[in-house]
Amino acid sequence: MKILVINGPNLNMLGKREPEIYGVKTLDDLDRFCYSVGKKAGAKVDSVQSNHEGEIIDEIQNALARYDGIVINAGGYTHTSVSILDALKAVAIPTVEVHLSDVKEREEFRKFSYISLYAEKVIIGKGFEGYAEAIEYLVDKYKK
Q: One of 67, 77, 99, 118 is an active-site residue; which one?
A: 99
Q: Rounded to the nearest whole angstrom, what is the least distance from the CB of residue 144 to ligand DQA in the complex?
A: 28
Amino acid (1-letter code) at residue 115: I
Q: Rounded to the nearest whole angstrom, what is the least distance from the CB of residue 113 to ligand DQA in the complex?
A: 9
CB of 140 closer than 8 Å to CB of 69: no
- Pattern 115-144, binding to ligand DQA, x per CB under 6 A? ------------------------------
Amino acid (1-letter code) at residue 104: K
79 has catalytic annotation: no
In the region spanning residues 9 to 68, those forming contacts with ligand DQA, defined by CB under 6 A, are: 10
Verify binding: residue 76, ligand DQA, rule CB under 6 A. Answer: yes
Between CA 28 and CA 38 the distance in angstroms is 15
DSSP assignment of 34-95 equals HHHHHHHHT-EEEEEE-S-HHHHHHHHHHTTTT-SEEEEE-GGGGGT-HHHHHHHHHHT--E
Please select the residue that binds ligand DQA; options are 51, 83, 101, 116, rule is CB under 6 A: 101
Helix 27-41 to helix 128-143 angle (10° resolution) is 30
22 has catalytic annotation: yes
Q: One of 22, 35, 79, 142 is an active-site residue; which one?
A: 22
Query: Residue numbers of the site for ligand DQA (CB under 6 A)?
Result: 10, 73, 75-76, 78, 99-101, 103, 110
Q: Which residues are marked as active site? A: 22, 99
